[in-house]
Structure 1
Amino acid sequence: MAGRPKIFDEQQAIDKATEVFRAKGYDASSADELLSAMGIGKGSFYHAFKGGKQELYVRSIEQFSEGFIKRLEDQLSKADNEIEWIKTFFLQLSKTPDCDKETGCYLGNALVQLSEKDIEAKHMSAHLLKKLQHIFEKAVKKAQENVQIKNTESAGIIAWHLTNLWNGLHVTRRMENSSEILRSIIELNLKILE
């Protein structure tokens, strides 16, 4: 038996749930809020997301991260100077008071929460961070070859530094909202790209 056909666009429903998770976080997002935002009933929800709220959350992060990574790759490929683009990308994190789609703060915040949930979620978090690291490594390696930066440290290590900075800033922003302090932290860390 094939079961009932889906009567909703799953990707669109996940996007709507993502907005709830972005605004409230995983723990504070109630099932009723999620169902209302997604525009579906409980039966349809549990038919599509057998693992319930946690499965929806994981799929939300996967879908969001795919879009985020694709946007980063597209924007970097169009940048005249990839290193300057990376610097601007990070400096935007000091200016954005709320969770911003372009800087991926939903993803950064979610990875902190998600990695605490279970081992499968922890592996997914690590996989996403490795994708981000790979994007940075490619740009750094190219910049080193073109002598755009003088730092001769391994491109992979520099990329991990940047990935750690991105990840860490999402944690720091929960405690410190001064854009001046955040900017100073970012500028200090970006000296690695000189």
Structure 2
Amino acid sequence: MAGRPKIFDEQQAISKATEVFREKGYDTASAEELLCAMGIGKGSFYLAFKGGKQELYIRSITQFADHFYQKFSDSISSAENKIQFIRQFFLSLSDASDCDKERGCYLGNALVQLSEKDQNIKSITAQLLKKLQVLFAETVRNAQENGQISSTEDPEIVGWHLSNLWNGIHVTRRMETSPEILKSIIEINLRILN
């Protein structure tokens, strides 16, 4: 007997679990809180997530990152001025509410909180963040070739710089609440795109 069929939307359940992980963190999110948020019982949970909480967490960060990356990539692709879009994206982080200051960035938190505890999660999170760096690098390379920016810096290094800024600003927002100061920090870092 193969077990009962799933009667829940897995992606939706993972999204609900993601909110618990974002709020509580991996270590403090209890099984009871996760099951309650997902609206499923233990039997259904372990049929869908044979690796338990760790598998759920990995699928959560993967789904979250894939959704973010797709949305961000589509936005860059459709932007008339891709470099200006990147600038505005970063500047919006100075007072953004979509990735709360207290919780920081979900992917950044995953990398920082679990990098020493779980090599698998560290590897997966790092790969997802690397995709963002590659997108930045490609955009910068194209802008250099089209004469949109005068910077002659290596696009790969600029991509890493922007990825580092993205990670760093989420950490800094936990300590500094002034949008003006955060905006100034971001503007200094974005001079590399001139």
Q: TM-score, normalised by structure 1?
A: 0.91
Matches within 5 A, 1:1-194: 1-97=1-97, 99=99, 105-194=105-194
Q: Is 111-120 or 166-175 further displaced after alignment?
A: 111-120
Tell me, which stretches of 5 or more residues in structure 2 are unaligned? none
| Counterpart residue type for residue 19 of structure 1 | E
Q: Is the 2:82–2:139 contact (alpha carbons within 8 Å) kept by the matching residues of 1? A: yes
Q: How many residues align?
A: 191
CA distance in 1, matches of 2:126, 2:22: 20
The Cα of 1:56 is off from its aligned counterpart by 1.0
| Counterpart residue type for residue 106 of structure 1 | Y
Q: Residue 175 of structure 2: SS of its match in structure 1?
A: coil
Q: TM-score, normalised by structure 2?
A: 0.91
CA distance in 2, matches of 1:58, 1:48: 13
The Cα of 1:162 is off from its aligned counterpart by 0.3
The Cα of 1:161 is off from its aligned counterpart by 0.4
Q: Is the 1:109–1:170 contact (alpha carbons within 8 Å) kept by the matching residues of 2? A: no
Q: Is 119-128 or 59-68 further displaced after alignment?
A: 119-128
Q: Is the 1:137–1:158 contact (alpha carbons within 8 Å) kept by the matching residues of 2? A: yes
The Cα of 1:95 is off from its aligned counterpart by 0.8
Q: Is the 2:94–2:183 contact (alpha carbons within 8 Å) kept by the matching residues of 1? A: yes
The Cα of 1:97 is off from its aligned counterpart by 4.3
Q: Is 176-185 or 143-152 further displaced after alignment?
A: 176-185
Q: Is the 1:22–1:99 contact (alpha carbons within 8 Å) kept by the matching residues of 2? A: no
Cα offsets for 1:61-120 (capped at 9, x unmatched): 0001111110011000110100000011111111124626xxx93223333224233111
Q: Is 176-185 or 136-145 further displaced after alignment?
A: 176-185
Q: Is the 1:132–1:163 contact (alpha carbons within 8 Å) kept by the matching residues of 2? A: yes
Q: Is 17-26 or 108-117 further displaced after alignment?
A: 108-117
CA distance in 2, matches of 1:59, 1:180: 36
Q: Is the 2:61–2:107 contact (alpha carbons within 8 Å) kept by the matching residues of 1? A: yes
CA distance in 1, matches of 2:113, 2:56: 14
Provide the identity percentage: 69
The Cα of 1:5 is off from its aligned counterpart by 1.4
CA distance in 2, matches of 1:138, 1:178: 32
Q: Is the 1:114–1:125 contact (alpha carbons within 8 Å) kept by the matching residues of 2? A: no
CA distance in 2, matches of 1:98, 1:174: 14
CA distance in 1, matches of 2:84, 2:116: 34
